[in-house]
Amino acid sequence: MKNFKIILCIGIMISTFQLLGQNSFKVEVYGKGEPLLLFPGFSSTAAVYNEVITTFSKDYQIHAFTFAGFGDVAPIQKAWLETIKKDIETYTDKKKLKNMTIVGHSMGGTLGLWLASDRAIYKKLILIDALPAMGALMFPNYNSESIDYDSPYNQQLLKMDEADFRAMANQMAVNMSLDPEGQKKIVADMLQSDRKTYVYGYTDLLKLDLRQKIANIDIPVYILAASLPYGKGAAQINYKNQYQKLNDYTLHFAENSKHFIMYDQPEWLNDHIKMALKTDE
């Protein structure tokens, strides 16, 4: 964080906010060079990438996204995730961005797969612990059509008081990061999120199944995966099963890391992003 503030002060990083008519996200732009689109995971903000921004804004133009309903970005109406995807396409078209690399964590990686499977305009995908069908990891006999927005669980979440929601967030954070400071950030982001976005936006994600669609992707895909909490062996099986239709990808595991690799193994993450960016250049 100290280095991040220094870079801000000495002007290496140029920061602007741009919406270009879209209200489904906020974008912070830093630096110059080939564009890196940074997509955070569900309920996270662009701040989850602070170390990545500090490292790569010297050589790349960073476009760091925070999605509607999270951080200080106002919520939008449904369909939340589909609107975000369409607005990103409009944003990159209006900005005339070329040779774009998407770096996406969790939901942000799934979103990257969705974008790249529909339009062959991206240079690379760097996915941080991300899957094409998150619901398939969570539900046996998964069928995206069976996921209901008006489920009893969703209604329970909507009615949950702040104390119970905080307790749930604390438990989830422990499961997603080994780092105590990282856990605090995860909880803070969850508590700041718009409740309806948290409930219905996550349902959007669970309903999204890209396992067949990723066969359309014909660019380098680098997957940086966490070894915990399932263990490397179980995680390898999950990735192999979900990415069967992807033509080619490179998979690396961060040892001793849970889902938020940027908190548990930040140096490892930056090193592997750097390797992915430099490969085949």
Half-sphere exposure of 174 (CA within 13 A, CB side): 5
Per-residue pLDDT tens listing for the chain (281 residues): 444 444 443 333 433 444 445 689 999 999 999 999 999 999 999 999 999 999 999 999 999 999 999 999 999 998 999 999 999 999 999 999 999 999 999 999 999 999 999 999 999 999 999 999 999 988 888 998 899 999 999 999 999 999 999 999 999 999 999 999 999 999 999 999 999 999 999 999 999 999 999 999 999 999 999 999 888 999 999 999 999 999 899 999 999 999 999 999 999 999 999 999 998 65
Contact 67, 31 (CB under 8 A): no
Q: What beta strand segments (E) does the chain contain? A: 16-18, 25-30, 34-39, 60-67, 100-105, 122-128, 221-226, 250-254
Domain ranges of the chain: 2-278
Backbone φ, ψ for residue 66 (5° rounding): -125, 125
Q: Provide the whole-model pTM.
A: 0.92
Determine the Cα–Cα distance for residues 184 and 202; give it in Å rounded to an integer.
21
- Got the DSSP string for 27-85? EEEESSSEEEEEE--TT--GGGGHHHHHHHTTTEEEEEEEETTSTTPPP-PSPHHHHHH
Listed in sequence order, the residues at least 6 apart from 190 whose beta carbon sits closer than 8 Å to its beta carbon are 43, 165, 169, 172, 173, 198
Place of tokens 């009615």: 159
Write down the CATH number for the domain with range 2-278: 3.40.50.1820
Determine the Cα–Cα distance for residues 131 and 176; give it in Å rounded to an integer.
15
Contact 208, 113 (CB under 8 A): no
